[in-house]
Amino acid sequence: MNTQPSIVFEKVSKRYYIGKRHVFAQQLLPEFIQRRLAQRSTVDELWALQDVSLEVHPGEALGLIGSNGSGKTTTLSILAGITAVTHGSVAVSGRVGALIQLGAGFHPELTGRENIYLNASILGLKRAEVDRIYDEIVEFAELEKFMDTPVKRYSSGMYARLGFSVAIHIKPDILLVDEVLSVGDMNFQSKCQQRMRKMMSDRIAVVFVSHNLPSVQGLCDRVVWLDRGKIRASGKTSDVVAQYMDAMNDRALSTRNSDYFGTRWGSGDVTLTKVDLIDQNNQITKKLNYRDTATVRIEYQINKSLPGVIFRLWIQDVTTGVIVTSADSIRGEKIGDFGKRGVVEFIFPNLPLRPRNYSLSVVAVSTDLLIPYDRWGSVITFTVSSSNIERESGYVHGQQDLVEIPYQVRTYRCD
Amino acid sequence: MDKQLSIGQKNTLVQKVKILVHYRELIINWAIRDIRSRYRQSFMGMGWLLIQPVFQIIIVSVIFGYFIKVPSEGMPYPIFYFAAMMPWMLFQGMISSAVPSVLNNMALVSKIYFPREILPLASILARFFDFLISLGIYFVLMMVYKVPLQITLVLIPVLLILQTILALGISLLGAAVSVFVRDISFAIPLVMQLWMYATPVIYPLDLVPEQWRWLYLLNPMAGVIDSYRRILLYGEWPDLIYLASAAFTSLVLCLFGYWYFKKLEITMADVL
């Protein structure tokens, strides 16, 4: 791209002081005293960003991903002029429309209408200019009935809708969007995505922060992955997202015996000795390709004479916890049919899961489903990779769904 | 001006003021909102703007004018008192609403950029509305006590500008510091009370012994309040030396306050 970048971040670092009140008070003192005090203790420092360099050009969307506390919101705050960098330099050219952590800077006591005017005038618009765009703002936010209600009575979705609508209608040159879309409903989310794409074609630069990887993939040309204030990876969206998902996957696995993942409990009458995910090449894996055939192999040991046992598994979306699907072994099987030790395999031909992170949980339970013998939550966390997805015809980037149900399309002409 | 926003730290004073002018509409809207919201939730509403001063005149006049018999330079005590109390209330109101103005709007400050001095500035502007009401009460009092109005009252705007500059300086300092040290918000009412007693509001300037008067007049409000009495009640010109020294102090404080405020501005959002 041969244009002037809209945003240039050069070796930006940002330090926060955390915790104690006297640390804030120090900032009131002249700098030479501050420096003296800083030498004495460095315990209350937190580097939210370290040596971060990035550029965004007009018409381009940059995605910021990373876990909580990785510095995404700090980056946006710096871009919006809310806070200053500690080291490095920032250049932002053009008007910035920003939505940081839900609120676009609304005053809770004021009505929606008053807030539109207030917000727009904070962003530097004249009253007459706001008059012109007022109806569009309200219409886009779908809040016609609530304009005279104080925004403190708004739901978080309404709040985000109004904030987003104001931010895009003030004719920004740069749009900063922080996780707001996740509180809106699906319709609104896709409406926002469409609008952002249109704005990008009007040469507006977008910085988009989200935990929702499909929407990052759907919108962004490039992605920067922040990890504890540093750039872990940056580049083409599909590459960085794939790396990120791998890392999340590994982390989930390494913590699977902790309280959060892999809670395991049960009566102990049956022990699940081993659970594996196997791909179509018969390899144990944590990573499947889209529409691969997958097999879950469960090895067990029965410790007591039982009337029967049911094996059940379920697959959850890691981000949302939504149960995507579940499967049962045939009910009422006699214990003899299983043997003291054995293997149960669940085979999923052309596993119709969208590219995301999933967790697999397994339970051996009594035939009346009342007594779990061995329940092993999130025993495996696996990724459905998008690497082979471009070749698949049925997949559209940015889709939010988890599962693909086979379907056919018919068309008829009626003219 | 949008370009300037990004490099806000490095702007010169003139540029900073220019940006502020660009935001004039916001300042005025914010001030109007301040006036509206202050009394919105109360039953008496704007009525409080009348009730408060009227009761204060009655109480102070009974105690200081009637019981203690503070000298009032030949004027009826209520008028003597109110001519000074009116500008003092304005001054005190400006400071006590402007100092916590940034802290009270942290939700906004942490979400969106605008020149933060707009908040104290708007709070200060909003107080002129109260002053207009007091001015109405003043005219009524003058009629009730049949004291003739003086032509010198056209000088009111000069004094108003002077005391606003002073209030602005103190408010900017107080508002900036109180974000970092919240104790300021608690100290302000106390400080303002002490300051009032160090200013000729309930007593005349003459009551201060001659040899201490130079020290007393280091308080810029002393000169301002005394000048109000002269132009409102006696048709005299204000003492130019008093005023000049008050103007000097106010201007220095205001410039320092603005510089200090702008220096701290960018770190305000980091305090949560």
Q: How far apart are CA A113 and CA A165, in angstroms?
A: 13
Q: Considering only residues A332 and A74, tell me which one the structure prediction assigns the higher pLDDT.
A: A74
Which pLDDT band holds residue A38 (cuts at 50, 70, 90)? low
pLDDT in tens, B75-93: 899 999 999 999 999 999 9
A77 touches chain B (CB under 8 A): yes
**Residues in A 82-111 with any Cβ partner in B closer than 8 A:** 82-84, 90-96, 98, 100-101, 103-110
pLDDT at A192: 86
pLDDT at B188: 93
Kindly report the average pLDDT of chain A as a whole number. 81
**What does the CA dihedral A215, A221, A227, A231 come to, rounded to 10 degrees?**
-170
Average pLDDT on B181-202 reads 92
pLDDT at A1: 46
Q: How far apart are CA B82 and CA A337, in angstroms?
A: 101
Average pLDDT on B46-61 reads 87
Which of A217-231, A290-304, A323-337, B40-54 has the least mean pLDDT? Answer: A323-337
Q: Out of A17, A81, A127, whose CB is closest to B25?
A: A127
pLDDT at A310: 87
Spell out the alpha helix ranges (H) of B74-219.
Answer: 77-98, 101-104, 106-109, 118-144, 156-180, 183-197, 213-216
pLDDT at B6: 41
* pLDDT of A27 over the 80 cut: no
Check CB contact under 8 Å for A123 and B112.
Answer: yes
Check CB contact under 8 Å for A24 and B3.
Answer: no
Which of A178-187, A322-331, B49-58 has the least mean pLDDT? Answer: A178-187
pLDDT at A250: 66
**Residues in A 126-155 with any Cβ partner in B closer than 8 A:** 126-127
Please state, in angstroms and as integers, the Cα–Cα distance from residue B95 to each residue in B49, B163, B224, B226, following that order: 17, 11, 16, 20
Residues of B near A (Cβ–Cβ under 8 Å) read 1-3, 5-9, 22-23, 25-26, 29-30, 33, 37, 105, 107-114, 177, 180-181, 264, 266-267, 269-271
Q: How far apart are CA B79 and CA B81, in angstroms?
A: 5
Q: How far apart are CA B94 and CA B125, in angstroms?
A: 8
Amino acid identity, position A346: F
Nearest alpha-carbon partner for A146 in A175, A110, A198, A120 = A110
The terminus-to-terminus CA distance of chain A in angstroms comes to: 47
Q: Considering only residues A120 and B5, tell me which one the structure prediction assigns the higher pLDDT.
A: A120
pLDDT at B220: 94
Average pLDDT on A27-46 reads 69
From B29's Cα to the closest Cα of chain A, the distance in A is: 8
Q: Considering only residues A86 and A102, tell me which one the structure prediction assigns the higher pLDDT.
A: A86
Q: Residue A403: which H helix or E strand, with range?
A: none
pTM of this prediction?
A: 0.72
Q: How far apart are CA A284 and CA A297, in angstroms?
A: 10
Kindly report the average pLDDT of chain B as a whole number. 88
Contact yes or no for A315/A326 (Cβ under 8 A): yes
pLDDT in tens, A270-321: 889 889 999 988 989 888 888 888 999 999 888 888 878 889 999 988 777 7
Nearest alpha-carbon partner for A160 in A177, A183, A138, A178 = A183
pLDDT at B253: 95
Q: Sign of dihedral through CA atoms A150, A153, A154, A159?
A: positive
From A177's Cα to the closest Cα of chain B, the distance in A is: 12
pLDDT in tens, B3-33: 334 444 567 778 888 888 888 888 888 898 8
Q: Considering only residues B93 and A325, tell me which one the structure prediction assigns the higher pLDDT.
A: B93
Starting at the edge strand found earlier in the chain, the sheet holding A222-227 runs A96-99, A174-178, A205-209, A61-65, A222-227, A230-236
The single residue listed with the structure tokens 């054995």 is A342
pLDDT at A325: 86
User: Could you give the ipTM of this predicted complex?
Assistant: 0.74
* pLDDT of B157 over the 80 cut: yes
B interface test, pick of A113, A121, A151, A204 with most B CB neighbours within 10 Å: A121
Average pLDDT on A99-114 reads 77
Which residues, 6+ apart, have CB-to-CB distance to B116 below 8 Å?
A: B102, B109, B261, B265, B268
pLDDT at B227: 94
Which pLDDT band holds residue A332 (cuts at 50, 70, 90)? very low
Average pLDDT on B150-161 reads 92
Distance of CA A7 to the CA centre of its chain: 23
Residues on chain B touching A101 (C-beta within 8 angstroms): 111
Nearest alpha-carbon partner for B87 in B190, B162, B198 = B162
Contact yes or no for B90/B134 (Cβ under 8 A): yes
DSSP E strands: which ranges in A73-173? 87-92, 96-99
pLDDT in tens, A363-400: 988 887 788 888 888 888 888 876 655 544 445 444 56
Which pLDDT band holds residue A15 (cuts at 50, 70, 90)? confident
pLDDT at B24: 85
Written as six digits, the tokens of A347 are: 């085979």
Average pLDDT on A91-116 reads 80
* pLDDT of A224 over the 90 cut: yes
